[in-house]
Structures are given as structure tokens and as C-alpha cells.
Amino acid sequence: MSDFVFETTPRVICEFDGALQLGALCKEFGAKRAVLLTDPGLQKVGLIDAPYAALKDAGIEALLWTDVQADPPEESILAAVKCARDFKADIVIGLGGGSSLDTAKLVALLCGKDQKLDKIYGIGLATGPRLPLIQVPTTAGTGSEVTPISIVTTPTHEKKGVVSNLLYPDIALLDAKLTMGLPAPITAMTGIDAMVHAIEASTTKHKKNALSDGLAIRAMQLMTAHIDDAVSATPSREAREAMLQGSMLAGMAFANAPVAAVHALAYPLGGHFHVPHGHSNALVLIEVLKFNRDTAVSQYAELARAILPGEKFANDDAACDRFIAFMTDMVERMPFSRTLREVGVAESDLDMLATDAMKVERLLINNPREMTFDAARAIYAAVL
């Protein structure tokens, strides 16, 4: 067994209606002025009302920032930072999907220590201190509430990451009630995203370890068993809770055993065509699984045996192929488009996509099989 270090968010609260604790949790940090970051869609449907009221009822002066943008661009993050500084916030709360949580991480960091955002892209370049940070996910996908990563869209449409242990929040608050009304396509996209986290954590070339493997396997068991219920017309509370917890476990896994080629190929789709991140992952997932097949046989076989305990396999090859077939069937029945043309990509864009994917070296080095420009382009072409 290799040596490893495992880190995660120090406190996790999983409780239905748990968002009503936000005021009390802020007081634990001695905070009096909270900035709550979310997106306009959640505000429009009223999902923010009860958590915001809980802050006010506890005597916390709260500023609601609802201008979080999908795939948050630099200027959006910096605008949120300025707002929080002007308000003199002493605690930051992210409530929403991955974009809200990633924005909240950087607001807490940049309000705690003045530093240039474009100078801290990469691993371990950020410095502290930061403001206290509470993360409340409303989608079961990114796992951002338990990861030390924030992804930013640069002015050149590249996706770059700030990676630092300072970005682990103080508290991850999982309230499945906030996910009950999530539309089926978003549930599907974010669910596949979380599964990609688990799959890539279990096959990564670097930092793979016993804890991350165990978390990834349990995440896959929870999510594969409940995603069909979760995307149905009347999803159960049990399914929503399972998806949210599975997403968190997958986040813990990939925070310590990093993701690889699926994410690297997904990023240009988000940066150039504004395809939601989970959808981008789903579009390229199956072709990347096929590409990795011969070098990841044992890992894919392990996942197959974990999520299909009632099936018997002659050997690892058979189990591996069954896993890829299982994931293929799952993606095909999800309520979202499955070709690049449907999201605006043309054949003339493939070289550009492959070129940009190859720039995501920090992820490509983790792939079990070496990814090349030609291979990346062929993957895009296969799903065009």
C-alpha cells in the first residue's frame, strides 16, 4: 500500500431542513455580518427565502448576492468580492450549485487576504487567512462543499482552477429539502457529474488510495441505485438524500484522488459553448471509458461488482465491459441531449476543442491511459 494523505471538510451536517440552522452556525464563529451567495434562478423560485430568513431571525445581518453566473467568470467573482468587502462581511455562505459554491470559496479567500485572482491559478499558490465559510449545495453533482478546488472561466474562455486546502469550507451543510424541486435534466446532469468524480477518482494515476476508493465505490452504489428515481416525475426524499450524500462522498474521493480526461475534455465545452459542466462530462464520458478500457480493466471491474452485486462475471474483462455497457445505458436514458451538434458544436470546432483539452495538463496527467490530441479529437468526433 502506498503512503497517502487524506483531507476533507472538517464538519459535515446532513439534515432535512438543516438550512434553517444557518443563523446558529454563523454565531458559532462569532459572525455578525454574513454574505449569502447564490444565483438568480434559486432566488426566483423562492429557494433562498427560508435560509435567508433563518439568518435574519438569528440576528445575523445578511447581504444576499444573487448574481452568481454559471461557469463563473473572473469578473463575476471579483464583483462579488467587492460587494462582500464593502459590506464588511465576516462570514461567507455559498448556497446553490457548483458555481455558487466555487464563487463563495474565492470570496471567502480574497476577502480574508488581498491577492490577485489570476496569480493563484494552479496548486497551492493561494495564501490565507480566509473568512469562515459554510457551503450549502442545492444540486447533487459537484461535491464542491468538500473539495479544495474552485473553477473559474478566464477572459480567454479557458477553465482554470484555484487549488488550495484553504478552500475547504468549515462546514458542509447537506439539506436534501433544497434539492426536492430540482428539474429532471439538472438532476441527471449533476448526477452523472458526481459519478464521473467517483469513476475518475477510482482510476486516477496519482494519489489513488484506500479511503478514496472506498468513498468512490459507496458513492457509485448510492447514485446508480437512486438516479432513476431522482429524475422521475415524483422523486422520493430517499432518492434525493442518496444522491446528495453520494455526490458528497464522490467529492471527498476526487478531492484526494484527482479527476482526469473526462473533465479535461469537458472543460472546453463549457468554456466555449456554455454547456453545463455535468452535461459536458456526460457527453464525453462513454467514449473516454472506452478509450481507457484496456488500462483500467481491474478498476472498472471493481466498480461493476460493487454496483451490480447480483451479477456474476467470468473475469475482470467481462466485468469491465459490463460496467461500460451499464454506464452507456444510463447516460442514454437520461433527459438531456447526447451529441455535440445538439449543443452547438460543428465539425470545424473539433480541432479547437482538442487543442484546449490538451492544455488541461493538471488533469490529463491523472488519466490511466495517456491522452493525445488525436485521441481527444477522435472522442469529440465520436459524439458529434
Looking up residue 256, the CATH number of its domain turns out to be 1.20.1090.10
- CA separation, residue 365 to residues 93, 310, 359 (Å): 33, 35, 11
- CA separation, residue 183 to residues 139, 180, 234 (Å): 10, 9, 11
Contact 105, 150 (CB under 8 A): yes
Q: How far apart are CA 67 and CA 50, in angstroms?
A: 19
Same domain, 248 and 209: yes
- What pLDDT does 159 receive? 85
- What pLDDT does 3 receive? 86
The angle that helices 373-382 and 350-358 make with each other, rounded to 10 degrees, is 130
- What pLDDT does 157 receive? 84
- What pLDDT does 1 receive? 60
- CA separation, residue 322 to residues 304, 311, 318, 362 (Å): 7, 10, 6, 30
Q: Report if pTM > 0.75.
A: yes
Range of the domain at 153: 11-179
- What pLDDT does 197 receive? 97
Same domain, 73 and 142: yes
Same domain, 234 and 151: no
Across the beta sheet with 122-123, what order do the strands follow? 122-123, 159-163, 149-153
- What pLDDT does 225 receive? 97
**Number of domains within the chain:** 2
Q: How far apart are CA 221 and CA 230, in angstroms?
A: 14
pLDDT digits (tens, 9 = 90+) for 131-166: 999 999 999 988 999 999 999 999 988 889 999 999
- What pLDDT does 208 receive? 93
Backbone angles phi, psi at 172, to 5 degrees: -105, 120
Q: Which residues of the chain register pLDDT less than 50?
A: none
The answer to whether residue 3 is domain-embedded is: no
The answer to whether residue 6 is domain-embedded is: no
The answer to whether residue 373 is domain-embedded is: yes
Same domain, 170 and 223: no
272 burial via Cβ count (<10 Å: 0-12, 13-18, 19+): middle
pLDDT digits (tens, 9 = 90+) for 341-370: 999 999 999 999 999 999 999 999 999 999
